[in-house]
Amino acid sequence: MSAICEHRNGIGTAPGCLALIGVGANLPGPDGRSARETCQQAIDIMDTLSGLQVVAVSRWYESAPMPPSGQPPYVNAVVALSVAPAVDPAALLARLLEVEAMCGRERSTPNAARTLDLDIIAIGELVRDAPDPILPHPRAHLRAFVLAPLADVAPHWVHPVLGRTAAELLADLPAQEIKTL
């Protein structure tokens, strides 16, 4: 699997492979932390896990829920993680779900408001239709709250299926409510 991690997607100085992780929340944590503080806690935890190293964190963004739902706005960022070239995407997802649980995430219905959401956007140039996680993330190219912070941490990242950078994909999106914090 190491061939997928010989990437052209920016931040090429980190050892191993680059995994791009979406971080978001729109509810305070169960401990009273703000959504942004919970997201930062998750990033700090990821950086302590064996085999993972935070290489870069985007600016923070505030965005409207997608699809629109009347929920509070989300706080979003993207984290670039250095991972082992032979990382198992399912194992990485399991670790991210553990981080969510450590930060108080409780799962309810799909697209519900949440205290924390960690999504694998991409791992190197890996394309995978099954099993979960599907890579690159199947809706990443449709969401400004993913593409804007992704362009911050990996400006040369190219979507491995669409062949376009995050900035190019973002420019083609219809207007979505998003602003930097």
In the chain, how many H helices and how many E strands?
A: 4, 6
- How many Å apart are CA 130 and CA 6, to the nearest integer? 22
Compute the residue count for the chain: 181
pLDDT for 34 equals 95
> What share of the chain has pLDDT > 70, as a percent?
87
Burial (CB count <10 Å: 0-12, 13-18, 19+), residue 5: buried
Average pLDDT over residues 154-176: 94
CA distances from 28 to 120, 144, 160 (A): 22, 22, 35
Of residues 68 and 45, more confidently modeled: 45
Quick check: 100 and 42 in contact, CB under 8 A? yes
- For the chain, the domains span 2-180
Is the domain 2-180 a CATH 3.30.70.560 member? yes
**Whole-prediction pTM value?**
0.89
State yes or no: pLDDT of 111 exceeds 70. Answer: no
State yes or no: pLDDT of 7 exceeds 70. Answer: no
